A and B are shown apart, each in its own frame.
Chain A
């Protein structure tokens, strides 16, 4: 089945530093979603990307969909302790019915 990879698995940053997580697939993706899961919480939808090369921003978060639609990235500028959590990307499977989740990137922010 379709596989979605994410790197890095873990990232520790000092508060104020930037952070980037990458999502990669061997196949072309129709769309991709990003979710955030706080420690002890449940995944919460952040954004969906559909178009090749698409860039979307949410305050300090910038999401990008690759030109070939095989990869995506989430960049956080000037991290804050509230950014702590695990960030998942999810890609629609080949049948267009279900999302396949990546393993996630766990972000720790040191104050």
Chain B
């Protein structure tokens, strides 16, 4: 089954404790992206990757890191989480970006205390 998976689905952590949210897709998509969703603000892009070893900042990259060592995986790293990063996070992938349909993962709900 074609899908985008994220782990964990729910996470409660404390300020400053490094964490990683994994994202994996099995569709051989070149383009992957991370969004955060906050009430009233819709989906805001954090980082995106056009292909392996190619990543770029989205609209709200501060406090986040990503890597794309393999085509299928695109982890999101919070080196020192803060309460303002409490949010719902979605990973998405598409065949090649630039107007292609995006397929979203199930989401990761993060609470930073």
Contacts and interface: CB of A to CB of B under 8 A. Distances in A.
Interface stretch (A11-19, A61-69, A70-78, A98-106): A98-106
Given A88-B43, A101-B42, A103-B40, A42 B107 contact: yes
Contacts of B106: 41-42
Which secondary structure characterizes the binding site on chain A? loop
Contacts of B76: none
B98 A48 contact: no
Contacts of A96: 98-99
Contacts of A9: 40
A97 B94 CA distance: 11
Interface string A76-103: 0000000000001010100011111111
Of A88, A90, A98, the most chain B CB neighbours within 10 A belong to A98
B103 interface: yes
B interface bracket (residues with beta carbon within 8 Å of A): 20 to 34
B74 interface: no
Nearest to B92: A43
A41 B103 CA distance: 13
Contacts of B97: 97-98
Interface of B: 33, 35, 40-45, 48, 50, 58-59, 90, 92, 97-99, 101-107
27 contacts: A1-B59, A6-B42, A30-B99, A33-B101, A33-B102, A42-B90, A42-B106, A43-B90, A43-B92, A45-B101, A88-B42, A90-B43, A92-B98, A96-B99, A97-B48, A97-B50, A97-B98, A98-B48, A98-B97, A99-B45, A99-B102, A100-B45, A100-B59, A101-B35, A103-B40, A103-B41, A104-B42
